[in-house]
Structure 1
Amino acid sequence: MVQVRAQQPVNTDGSINLEAWLDHVLKMDPALEREALKTACEYVREAERRARPDAERPAVGTSTFLVGLEIAEILADLKLDQDSLVAAVLYRGVRQKQIALDEVQRRFGQVVAKLIEGVLRMAAISDSLNPRESLVLDAQTQVENLRKMLVAMVDDVRVALIKLAERTCAIRAVKHADEERRQRVAREVSAIYAPLAHRLGIGHIKWELEDLAFRYLEPEQYKQIAKLLHERRLDREQFIAKVVQELKEALAGAGIKADINGRAKHIYSIWRKMQKKGLQFSQIYDVRAVRVLVPEVRDCYTALGIVHSLWRHIPREFDDYIANPKENGYRSLHTAVIGPDGKTLEVQIRTHAMHEEAELGVCAHWRYKGTDLKSTSSHYEEKIAWLRQVLEWHEELGDIGGLAEQLQVDIEPDRVYVFTPDGHAIDLPKGATPLDFAYRVHTEIGHNCRGAKIDGRIVPLNYTLQTGEQVEIITGKNGSPSRDWLNSNLGYVTTSRARAKIVHWFKLQARDQNVAAGKALLERELARLDLAPVDYDRLAEKSNLKTAEDLFAALGAGDLRLAHVVGLAQQLVEPERSAGQFELIPRKAGVPHKPGKRDDIQIQGVGNLLTQMAGCCQPLPGDPIVGYITQGRGVTIHRQDCANALQLASREPERIIQVSWGPVPVQTYPVDIFIRAYDRSGLLRDVSQVLLNERINVLAANTLSNKEDSTAQMVLTIEIPGLDALGRLLARIAQLPNVIEARRHRAVS
C-alpha cells in the first residue's frame, strides 16, 4: 500500500525540504529531470503564496503545493514520464485557479497543459454521484454510466493515472474532514476509481482506495474486522514468521531461491468474501497468507509440491492460473493448507515477472471480481483494452506518451455520455441530439421541448451532443412536437425511441389535422426537390394505401417516412422527364459491396499496380493487411497475421510493402440547386461551409444580388450521390440565417 505523505521530508520549521524530496523521487525513477521538476514545484509553491499572502501555512490536504507533491510521488512509483509528474505537481493549482492553464502551456508546454485539461474534464464525475434517488436512472445504471463516461473521456492513459493518484490523495485527506465530505469522496472512490484501478491492474492503489472508502462508508463493520485483525496481529505475525522460516528451509533444500513474505489481507477484501460466501471471520482461510516469488515457472510447481508435502491441502481450495490463466492474463498458483498448529494458511506462488504484471498494470480483472456490473459497450471494452496495452508496453519501452498517441487512433466511441442539470449521467448513441436527450429523460419533456442549452449556451435542437456536456432542455407550458422533427434530412432526432414517441403523439391527433399537415409537408418537399407535379392517388397506391387522403394522414401521423414517399414519387416522375434531363436515382439500400477487387486496395507510395487476394488467408475489408511483390503477377494481398506472409517477410523483407483498404467508390451525379436569401455579409461563406460539412463538390456557381429588394440569388451545380443527400443538403441550407428558400433548380429550356 502506498504511503506518501509520511515520507515527505520537512525542514525544522515544518516546511517541505524540496531538495530532499527531489532526491527521494529521483531515487524512485532516475530517468526524471531534476531541474524541470524543481521548476514546477517552485512555481506552484509561489502561486499558492500569492493566492494566500496573509494566511497561515495551509493544512495537509488543502495545500495545492503539498497535494501536487503527493500526486507526483505516487506517479513516480508507477514510473510515469516527466510530463506526467510536472502536470501532477501543477494540477491542483490550476483547479484552484491559482494558476492559469494558458500560462502552464506557455511555461511547461502543450503536452503538460493537455494532461491537466484532461484531468479537469473528469472533475464533472465527482459532482455527479448524487446520493438522492434518481427519477431517471437507478443507482447501478447511474454508476455504470459514470464509469463509461470517465473512460470515454480519456484520450491519454496518463490522464487516467493522474486522476487515480489525485483521488488517492483526496481520500487520504478526508480523515479530519466533516462527515458529508468523507461520505461523498468515499462513495465516488468506491464506485468509480477503485474499480478503474482494479481494471487497469494497479493493485496497490486499488487496495488502498477500497480500504479507505470502506472505512468511511461502513465504519462499524470496518472497525469490527480491524479489531479482530488487531487482536490476532501478534499471534499472526509469529505464525507467519514460523511459516516463512520453515518454507525457506524446505525450498532451499530443493535448490530453489525464493522470496517469501507475509501477504497483508485487506479489510475490504475480507468483508467482501464474508458477505459473498456467507462466512464468519474464523472461516476466512487467507487472513493468514504468504506469497512465494520464484525465478522460473517450473519452480512454481516444485514449490507447490513442497508446500503440499509440508502441510495438508484443504479440498476445493486450489486454483492453477498458470496452466489455465484467466481471460485477462492473470497467472499464479493459489492454494490453502492446514499449516502449523492446525491453523489455515493461504499460499500464493508466482514468478517475479507474474508478480510485476499483477501489481503494476497488466492483470486487470475488474470484470470478473471487481464488480457485479457487466459492461455492454464494445467501445468501453476496446478503450479499457487500449489503456491496459499502453500500460503494458510502457513497462517494456518506457514512452507512455508516444504509445498512447499511436494506439488511440482506431478507437471511436459508440456512445456519448452527458449530464442532466442535476448531475445524472445519461448514455445515448453517438450522434444523438438535445431532442433525443429530452425524450430519453421523459416523454413530456420531449413533447414540450422548445430549446436547449449545452454548458449554459443556447444550441440548435439538431446539435450533436459530445461526451461530458451538461444538457438543459428549455420547455413550454403547452408545447407539442413539430412534424419537422420527423424529417430525417433536418437531423432533429436520431434515436428510434424519440422518433417513436413523436409518431405516437401525432397518431393521437385528429385525422383531418394529420391530412392537412401531411399534404403540406409532402408538397413542400416535392417542390423543393423539383419533383412536382405528382399523381397523389398513384403515389398512394405505390405506398400500399387506398387513397391520397390516407397517404397524407399517414405522413402527418408519422407512420410513413417523408424520405420514403419522396423516393416513390421520383420513380413516378422520372419516366416523364426528357432524355437530356438530369436523372437522380437514389442508390438502393442493402446492396453489399463485393470485396476483393483491385480498386479496394491502396498501395502506399506506388501508384496503381495489379493486385490479387491471397488464397491462403483470404483477407476481407477491415482486416490488417500487407502486400507482397510477386514476379510478374503484381502484388499479392495477405492478412498481416498470415503464416505465409510472416514467412515471406522473414525471408524476403525487401518485397513486403505497405497497403491499405481504399474507400468504397461512391457514384455521384451533377445537379443544380437554387438559393434565394436576404443579402448579407458572409452569406456565401456560410453556404460554402454547409457544402464543406456535407462533403459536397461544387462544379459551378453563379450569384446575383438584387439591390431593389436586398436579396441574393445563387445557382450552384454540385455533385450529389442520391436524393436523400440532396434533401439533407437543402434542409441544412434552408436553416441558415436570412435564407428564404433552397430548392432543386431546373433550367428553363
Structure 2
Amino acid sequence: MLRQYELVERVLAYAPQADEAMLNRAYVYTVQKHGTQKRASGDPYFSHPVEVAGLMTELKLDQETIMTALLHDTVEDTLATVEEIERLFGPDVARLVDGVTKLSKIETMTESERAAENLRKFLLAMSEDLRVLLVKLADRLHNMRTLHFIKSEDKRRRIARETMEIYAPLAQRVGMYEYMREMQLLAFEQLEPEAYATIEGRLTAIRAEGGGEVDDIALSISQALAQAGLRVEVEGREKHPYSIWKKMAERHVSFEQITDIMAFRVLVDDIDECYKALGVLHQTWQMIPGRFKDYISTPKMNGYKSLHTSLIYNNARRVEVQIKTREMHHRNEYGLAAHWAYKQGGTPDGEVGWLRDLVEILDASHDAEELLENTKMAIYQDRIFAFTPKGALFQMPKGATPIDFAFAVHTNLGAQAVGAKINGRHVPLRTPLGNGDVVEIIKSRNSEPQLSWLGFAVTGKARAAIRRAVRQKERAEVALIGRKLYDEIIERLPTQVGKKALAEAIKRLKLTSEEDLMVAIGTAKLDDLQVMEALVPGCTATMPNPEEWRRQQRAIAVQGLTPGMAFKLAECCHPVPGDRIVGLRRPGQGVEVHAIDCETLADGIDADWIDLSWDKRTDGAVGRIRAELYNRPGTLAEMAGIFANNHANVVNLEMTQRENPFHTYLVDLEVRDLAHLTRIVSALRASDAVAQADRI
C-alpha cells in the first residue's frame, strides 16, 4: 500500500501546482473514516481507496480525481455524507464522489434492478464528467485483483460476470485496453476456472517447448525493419487465456487449431513510418488475406489508432502485428485518460458521442432488464462503418440494419423510417449493413415505430426507442378503451359528476393523472364498482347487496368461473384474452362472448348483457387476420414464416380475393392473447411481402 508521502510525491511529480495540504487531508480523512474496517483479504479497508488513487496517479490525473479516488467509498461505507465532503473538499470532489457511489441500500430491489439502478446513476454522472468513469474503472480493477480473497463462490462469480459484461466493455469503449485486458483475464479465471487452467497449462507447455520463440520472432521483425532504415521498438507476447478462449468459441475450434496466439507490437516515430513498416513486413513475410485493418485512416469510435495485419512467419507460424506510433500506443493503452481532452472541452465528437446514446437509453428503458440489455448492446465493440449520402460517417455494430442506422443519425429519423436504400438500391429495413455502405433512409411523417422492428434492430439505442414508442402507442390505445368504459360507468351513477369529482377520484385511487385512470380502467386494474365509489363516495351503499353486484359483474369468465354455463366466442369479432369482452345471453341459448367494440353488438338489444372477464388460466383463443399479399413467388411462404417465428398455429387459411397485384387471405390463428396477436399483425405490416394486414 502506498504511504501518504509516496502518494503525494507521485502527484507532485507530474503536477507541481497541486495542493499538497488538500491531498494530505483527503488521505487522512479516508483513513479515519474507514477506521478499523477490514477487507476480505484482512488488509485495512482504507488500503483499497489508496491503491485506487495510486492507479489514478499512473494516469497522471488531476488532484480532484486523486482525492475522489481516496474518498470514493466513504459515503457508501462510513458515516460520511456528500455534504460533509463538499464542505471539506469542495463541490467538484463532492459531485465526483457522489457519481461513483453506488445505490447499495435499495434492499427491496432484485439483483438485476439494483445493478440497473447503480448503472443508471453511474452513467448519468459519467456523461457529465468522465473522471467518474476513470475512478470507477480503477475501483473495479483493484477489486478484481483482490477478488480471490472473497470466500463465497457465488459472490465472486457475480462480481466477475458484472465486470465482464459492463466494466471491461466500458474500459474498451474509452480505449483503456490495459484495464480491459486485465479485467477480462481476472473475470475469466472466476467464470471459467477449468478453461482458464487448461489454456494456461497449454501456454506453459508451449513456452517450455518453444523456448524463446517470441523473442526470436520479435528480433527478426526488428532486424527486417532496421535494414529498411526504420528506428523501431518491437514487443512480443502471447495472447492471454481469455482472448484465446474467445477465439476458440467464436471459430468453434480446439486450442491446437488456434495458430495466431502470438501478437507483436511495432512502435515507430510517425505515421509515415507506420505505412513504411507495413510495406516492409508484407514484402518480407506473406500476409494473410482479409486480416489487414487500417485504424489510422479510420479510427475506432474510442479513438484507437493502429495498423493491424497478420503474417505467416517462416511458412509455419501465424503472428499478429500491430504497427503504431509511440504516441498512438500511449493513447491506445489508456484511452481518454491519456490526454484527457475533455478538460479543455475539445474531445472529438466520436470519442464520447456514444455517451449521449447511453443517456438516451436511460430515458427510454422501461425496467431493469431492458436497461441492462440495451446498455450492454451499446457498449460492446464490434463495429462496421457506414455513411450517409452526404458522407457523414457512423460506426455501427456488426449485424446492424438500416433501422439501427436511422436511429443513430437521429431518433426522429428512426421513428419516421419506412424504407431504405443501400448504395442506391432499395432494400428492406431488416437488411444487414456492410462495411462502407452508403445508407439513405426513406421517411414519412405519418410513419411510427413498429413492434416487429425489434426482431432485427441490434443497437441498444434503436431498441430502447422502439420499445418506448410502442409502449406509448399501446398506452394511448388502452386509455381510449378506458375512456369509453368510463363514459358507461358514469351513466350508471345516481348523480352527474364534473371535473372536480374526477380530480378527487384520481386522488382517492392514488393515481397521478386522468390518463392513468383511463389506463387502469382499460386494463381492468380497476373494476366499475371501485371507479363509481371513488367518483361518488357512498353511492354503492344504496345498491342492493353491493358485494353480490360486484360478483355478478365478474361472475362469468370465459374459462370456468361459472361451472356448467355454456358459452361460445363470437365469430364476428374473434375476441382473444386481453380484449375487453361482453356476453350476450338469450333464453334457451348459451352466452355468446364478443369484444366490447364489436359492431354486431347493436343486434343484441333483445339479449341480456353480461360484463365478462378472462380467466387467468385461459391458454389462448383463435384470432382472425386479413392479409393482402403481393402476387409474387414466396410471399405466402414469408407470411407463414412470420407465423412460425411468432409461435402461432394456423387453424384455417382461406383466399378470399384474387386481384392483381394482390391476393387477400383470411387467417385464423391460435394466439396467447391480444399482445401476441398485435405483434403478429405488426410483423406482417413490416414485411415486404405484405401490402396490408389487419385484425378482423
TM-score if structure 2 supplies the norm length? 0.50
**What SS class does the counterpart of residue 335 from structure 1 fall into?**
strand
Whole-Å separation in 2 of the counterparts to 1:197 and 1:321: 18
Tell me if structure 1 keeps the 8 A contact 2:34–2:78.
no
Q: Which shifted more, 204-213 or 330-339?
A: 330-339
1:41 counterpart = 2:27: yes
Instruction: Indicate the residue corresponding to 1:67 in structure 2.
Output: 48
1:527 and 1:158, CA in 2 relative to 1: closer, same or farther beyond 3 A?
Answer: closer
1:244 and 1:182, CA in 2 relative to 1: closer, same or farther beyond 3 A?
Answer: same
Superimposed CA distance per residue, residues 412-433 of structure 1 (whole angstroms, 9 cap, x where no aligned partner): 757537897xx7676999xxxx
1:99 and 1:328, CA in 2 relative to 1: closer, same or farther beyond 3 A?
Answer: closer
Within-5 A mapping of 1:282-431: 282-326=256-300, 329-340=303-314, 342-362=316-336, 394-395=340-341, 413=360, 415-416=362-363
Instruction: Indicate the residue corresponding to 2:93 in structure 1.
Output: 112
Whole-Å separation in 2 of the counterparts to 1:426 and 1:280: 35
Within-5 A mapping of 1:210-609: 210-235=184-209, 238-326=212-300, 329-340=303-314, 342-362=316-336, 394-395=340-341, 413=360, 415-416=362-363, 495-504=472-481, 512-513=488-489, 515-516=491-492, 520=496, 524=499
Give the CA deviation at 1:332. 1.9
1:215 and 1:504, CA in 2 relative to 1: closer, same or farther beyond 3 A?
Answer: farther
Give the CA deviation at 1:502. 4.5
Superimposed CA distance per residue, residues 285-336 of structure 1 (whole angstroms, 9 cap, x where no aligned partner): 4311110011122211221222223322233332233345446554322122
Whole-Å separation in 1 of the counterparts to 2:354 and 2:297: 32
Superimposed CA distance per residue, residues 658-692 of structure 1 (whole angstroms, 9 cap, x where no aligned partner): xxxxxxxxxxxxxxxxxxxxxxxxxxxxxxxxxxx
**What SS class does the counterpart of residue 267 from structure 2 fall into?**
strand
Tell me if structure 1 keeps the 8 A contact 2:260–2:320.
yes
1:196 and 1:510, CA in 2 relative to 1: closer, same or farther beyond 3 A?
Answer: closer
Instruction: Indicate the residue corresponding to 1:454 in structure 2.
Output: none
Whole-Å separation in 1 of the counterparts to 2:229 and 2:160: 47
Instruction: Indicate the residue corresponding to 1:94 in structure 2.
Output: 75
**What SS class does the counterpart of residue 286 from structure 1 fall into?**
coil
1:170 counterpart = 2:117: no
Tell me if structure 2 keeps the 8 A contact 1:67–1:92.
no
1:511 and 1:100, CA in 2 relative to 1: closer, same or farther beyond 3 A?
Answer: closer
1:187 and 1:45, CA in 2 relative to 1: closer, same or farther beyond 3 A?
Answer: same
**What SS class does the counterpart of residue 220 from structure 1 fall into?**
helix
**What SS class does the counterpart of residue 291 from structure 2 fall into?**
strand
1:28 and 1:285, CA in 2 relative to 1: closer, same or farther beyond 3 A?
Answer: farther
Tell me if structure 2 keeps the 8 A contact 1:22–1:38.
yes
Whole-Å separation in 2 of the counterparts to 1:172 and 1:518: 72
Superimposed CA distance per residue, residues 216-275 of structure 1 (whole angstroms, 9 cap, x where no aligned partner): 111111111111122223456611211222222222222211111114422222211211
Question: Over aligned residues, Cα RMSD in angstroms?
Answer: 4.5
Tell me if structure 1 keeps the 8 A contact 2:490–2:496.
no
Instruction: Indicate the residue corresponding to 1:647 in structure 2.
Output: none
Report % sequence identity. Answer: 30
Give the CA deviation at 1:500. 3.4
Whole-Å separation in 2 of the counterparts to 1:358 and 1:192: 20
Identify unmatched segments of 5+ residues in structure 1.
Answer: 1-7, 10-16, 135-141, 363-390, 430-493, 529-553, 560-749
Instruction: Indicate the residue corresponding to 1:130 in structure 2.
Output: 111
Whole-Å separation in 2 of the counterparts to 1:328 and 1:28: 25
Tell me if structure 2 keeps the 8 A contact 1:40–1:86.
yes
Q: Which shifted more, 509-518 or 268-277?
A: 509-518
Superimposed CA distance per residue, residues 110-166 of structure 1 (whole angstroms, 9 cap, x where no aligned partner): 2111111111146579997837xx9xxxxxxx9889766642343321112211211
Superimposed CA distance per residue, residues 713-748 of structure 1 (whole angstroms, 9 cap, x where no aligned partner): xxxxxxxxxxxxxxxxxxxxxxxxxxxxxxxxxxxx
Match of 1:159 among 129, 132, 139: 132
Count of equivalent residues: 408
1:203 counterpart = 2:177: yes
Superimposed CA distance per residue, residues 380-408 of structure 1 (whole angstroms, 9 cap, x where no aligned partner): xxxxxxxxxxx68624867899x9xx999
Amino acid at match of 1:321: Y
Give the CA deviation at 1:85. 0.8
Give the CA deviation at 1:42. 2.0
Within-5 A mapping of 1:651-730: none
Match of 2:5 among 12, 19, 44: 19
Amino acid at match of 1:73: G
Give the CA deviation at 1:170. 1.7
Whole-Å separation in 1 of the counterparts to 2:275 and 2:373: 50
1:217 and 1:46, CA in 2 relative to 1: closer, same or farther beyond 3 A?
Answer: same
Amino acid at match of 1:105: E
1:81 counterpart = 2:35: no
Whole-Å separation in 1 of the counterparts to 2:63 and 2:50: 14
Identify unmatched segments of 5+ residues in structure 2.
Answer: 375-470, 504-517, 524-696
Amino acid at match of 1:168: L
1:181 and 1:419, CA in 2 relative to 1: closer, same or farther beyond 3 A?
Answer: farther
Tell me if structure 2 keeps the 8 A contact 1:80–1:400.
no
Whole-Å separation in 2 of the counterparts to 1:501 and 1:277: 48
Tell me if structure 2 keeps the 8 A contact 1:146–1:192.
no
Whole-Å separation in 2 of the counterparts to 1:428 and 1:314: 36
